[in-house]
């Protein structure tokens, strides 16, 4: 049994009594199993900070053995303020509860602060939007980024609000849906007319040796598998609308895989630059729509996963945003 001892004003102290069959375990493993809201690494850090005790003794060794019947107290300080600051950036929220939030991200919004994007990111927006509901990931009041979308890719992504949700969701994504309900489906407008209605690209990916800012198919890369299906063919325009389902989730995976089979994404100037002359085949409306797109034509349209706390299977869909709808319409009327 565990229960909270502290008031809301001070550190959150949680008491855990070891049962008769729990003696002899490593202390950090015992506490992590009994207190799933804390990661094992977080508990180890709290021990080093002197925040774990039993019988009035401070316990600093994570490998110490548990004594059956003893009561252990974890006094976790309130989550430290996040390094990034909250910013009032509009968000489209598809779902939110105390454990997670699902966002329909617009194109152009960077997910996480990084070099060249110190603020104005999804993380800044979430810190502002979620406020006190961020109970802390790794002891910091920040959203737990489980997966990312490129800056210029629109669509659905899920973010955790606390450690336990972050660990459970990360495990689902690491499993790639092979033993669970995880679904990640994208809509992509590509150049060319595939000769088959569907297929799979199984090609490992890694950093390009010629350009370290790009990803390339490499024999020594990490496993990467994309399943694709043609949803619509635009014969006159020489383009197609595809559904791409990720079995793995590597950086730029769909963009690189589609380019590797000769069907790069419309608007992708990194992996589809060699196909830019194909725009000459488009009508005036099509060229205008492509110029206005100013990004790769990729949208995370479907996201499904098991709720990290309740186990309920959640499923979300996002329609094509206006810029991709306009592009599709121009291709249809070519």
Cα of 176 vs its chain's centroid, Å: 12
From 266, 226, 269, 219, select the one nearest 248 (Cα to Cα).
226
> In 3D, which of 246, 247, 292 has the Cα closest to residue 266?
292
Residue of 28, 104, 150, 323 with catalytic role: 150
Q: Is 22 exposed, middle or buried (0-12, 13-18, 19+ CB in 10 A)?
A: middle
What CA–CA distance (Å, rounded) separates 121 from 87?
A: 9
Write down the residue that tokens 């085949």 correspond to: 281
Q: In angstroms, what CA-CA distances link 252 with 101, 153, 201, 256? A: 23, 10, 14, 6
Residues 6 or more apart in contact with residue 293 via CB below 8 angstroms:
266, 267, 323, 324, 327
Q: What is the DSSP string of 58-124?
A: E---TTPBPPTT-EEEEEEPPPEEPSSPP------EEEE-SSEEEEEEPTT--SS-BTTBSSSSHHH
Cα–Cα distance, 317 to 175 (Å, whole number): 21
322 in active site:
no
For 21, other C-beta atoms within 10 Å of its C-beta total: 8
- Residue 207 makes CB contacts below 8 A (sequence gap 6+) with 214, 215, 216
CA distances from 14 to 9, 35, 74, 114 (A): 14, 9, 5, 35
Q: Which residues are catalytic?
A: 150
């Amino acid at each position: 049994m565990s229960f909270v001892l502290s008031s809301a004003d001070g550190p959150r102290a949680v008491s855990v009594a070891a049962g008769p069959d729990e003696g002899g375990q490593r202390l950090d493993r015992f506490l992590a199993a009994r207190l799933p809201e804390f990661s094992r690494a977080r508990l180890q850090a709290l021990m080093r900070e002197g925040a774990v005790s039993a019988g009035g003794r401070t316990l600093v060794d994570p490998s110490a053995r548990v004594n059956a019947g003893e009561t252990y107290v974890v006094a976790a300080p309130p989550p430290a303020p996040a390094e990034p600051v909250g910013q009032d950036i509009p968000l489209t929220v598809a779902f939110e509860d105390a454990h997670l939030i699902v966002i329909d991200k617009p194109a152009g919004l960077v997910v996480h602060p990084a070099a060249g994007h110190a603020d104005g990111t999804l993380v800044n927006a979430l810190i502002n939007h979620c406020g006190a509901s961020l109970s802390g990931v790794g002891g910091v009041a920040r959203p737990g980024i489980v997966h990312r979308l490129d800056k210029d890719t629109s669509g659905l992504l899920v973010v955790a609000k606390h450690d336990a949700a972050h660990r459970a969701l990360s495990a689902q994504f690491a499993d790639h849906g092979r033993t669970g309900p995880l679904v990640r489906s994208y809509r992509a407008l590509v150049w060319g007319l595939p000769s088959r209605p569907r297929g799979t690209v199984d090609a490992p990916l890694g950093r390009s040796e010629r350009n370290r800012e790009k990803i390339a198919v490499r024999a020594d890369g990490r496993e990467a598998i994309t399943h694709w299906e043609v949803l619509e063919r635009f014969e006159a325009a020489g383009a197609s609308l595809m559904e791409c389902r990720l079995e793995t989730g590597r950086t730029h995976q769909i963009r690189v895989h589609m380019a590797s089979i000769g069907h790069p994404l419309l608007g992708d100037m990194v992996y589809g630059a060699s196909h830019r002359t194909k725009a000459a085949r488009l009508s005036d409306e099509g060229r205008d729509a492509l110029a206005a797109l100013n990004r790769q034509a990729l949208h995370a349209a479907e996201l499904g996963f098991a709720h990290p706390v309740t186990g309920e299977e959640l499923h979300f869909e996002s329609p094509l945003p206006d810029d991709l709808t306009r592009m599709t319409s121009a291709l249809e009327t070519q």
